[in-house]
Structure 1
Amino acid sequence: MVLLFALIFFSCNTESKTNTTNMSDSLSVNESKSGLDTATFGAGCFWCVEAVFQRVNGVLSVVSGYAGGEVEKPTYEQVCSGATGHAEVAQITFNPNEVSYEELLEIFWHTHNPTTLNRQGNDEGTQYRSVIFYHSNEQKKIAEASKAKANASGEWREPIVTEIVPYTKFFKAESYHQNYYNQHLYQPYCSFVISPKLEKFKSKFSDKLKDVKK
């Protein structure tokens, strides 16, 4: 039991830091292909957010990275210190003809706890804050309406603390963070934190699932 308890408390803060090469690069809003759109969400450890949205029909790509801070091209170690102002985020490229921004937000609300300030489970710090980075005034309007609807739904006992802020820059995380869950299914954090989250997601959003190539 002691060993199992220890494994459950293994978080992405304890990920091996042997690969410290800065793979970060800034991406602009307009880099997506014509007809596609971009959403940027922070909802705790980016491994979790990436794994969820990779499985949504209409999503073409999900990239783990950092946004919302002041430091240019931050490293994972810098972001984990909590001193950069950046949040761990997933940048999602999607086809709005297949999945709408509103639908992505619905998934966002129900795949993390939006009422805990700067914390998701045992991952704690401003880098794990719940945040929506909007890419346009239309996204801002949709996000604010979606948050109000979620708050009024009664699904959470506490008020939602998710920030809704303008997107500025996104810095891609190091290569070893990309597609993390699919490549590390039996790593303790993946087994005990991400896998149960995905099962709940699949149960609630079965109509929005797609097959994922590992």
Structure 2
Amino acid sequence: MEQGLEIATLGGGCFWCLEAVFQQVDGVRAVESGYTGGHVSRPSYSDVCEGETGHAEVVRVSFDPSVVNYREILEIFFSIHDPTQLNRQGNDIGTQYRSIIFTHSEAQRAVAEYVIRELEAGHAYDARIVTQIEPEQPYWRAEASHQNYYQEHPAQGYCAFVISPKLVKFRRDFSHHVRR
């Protein structure tokens, strides 16, 4: 990894959605879809989709904190998924779609806890935030067919009807963070 970069590992529904948004964030150097938080080594997509491995679909975001900091990464994360839905996002149902932050340091944990407290105090959502915060765990990169999914399949139904609106929302609400 490039010196000076940090990593954020985030789960909030299907990893294709998170990947598509974070690939457009200025200061993000790489986004990779994968699996973490489970009890099986080297799980496959079909293993994770069965919901028996305990893994979450996540993205690993490598970013330059001098351009976009961890708090801003989390603000974007919370704006593009519903952190009040337990083990689901819309029609994607199961623990693999849970809202979760895997922290890479105590500083990241503190920032994540602070952001959640701030969102709850400001009543940003009509329900309680159920996002879990856990220390990083063994991570496995998803299969090649799941990398850059939106860029490869923008007209596919899921991309057009689920991901595209998230991208529009991101560009509208975080225009100052859109890669030029």
Give the TM-score normalised by structure 2: 0.98
* Residue 34 of structure 1: how far off its partner (Å): 1.5
Q: Distance in 2 between matches of 1:179 and 1:99?
A: 21
* Residue 126 of structure 1: how far off its partner (Å): 0.1
Partner of 1:203: 172
Quick one: which amino acid aligns to residue 49 of structure 2? C
Partner of 1:109: 78
Partner of 1:76: 45
Structure 2's unaligned 5+ residue stretches are none
CA contact under 8 A between 1:45 and 1:88: conserved in structure 2? yes
Q: State the percentage of identical aligned residues.
A: 53
* Residue 189 of structure 1: how far off its partner (Å): 0.3
For 1:165-180, list aligned pairs within 5 A. 165-180=134-149
Partner of 2:90: 121
* Residue 150 of structure 1: how far off its partner (Å): 1.1
Q: Distance in 1 between matches of 2:59 and 2:105?
A: 17
Aligned residues: 180
Instruction: Determine if the alignment matches structure 1 residue 53 to structure 2 residue 53.
Output: no
Q: Distance in 2 between matches of 1:168 and 1:46?
A: 17
For 1:1-214, list aligned pairs within 5 A. 32-211=1-180
Greater mean alpha carbon deviation, residues 148-157 or residues 109-118: 148-157
* Residue 33 of structure 1: how far off its partner (Å): 2.2
Q: Distance in 2 between matches of 1:190 and 1:120?
A: 15
Structure 1's unaligned 5+ residue stretches are 1-31
* Runs ≥4 residues deviating over 2 A: none
Greater mean alpha carbon deviation, residues 83-92 or residues 150-159: 150-159
Quick one: which amino acid aligns to residue 116 of structure 1? Q
Q: Distance in 2 between matches of 1:174 and 1:153?
A: 39
Q: Distance in 1 between matches of 2:122 and 2:165?
A: 24
CA contact under 8 A between 1:47 and 1:64: conserved in structure 2? yes
What is the Cα-based RMSD across aligned positions, in Å? 0.7
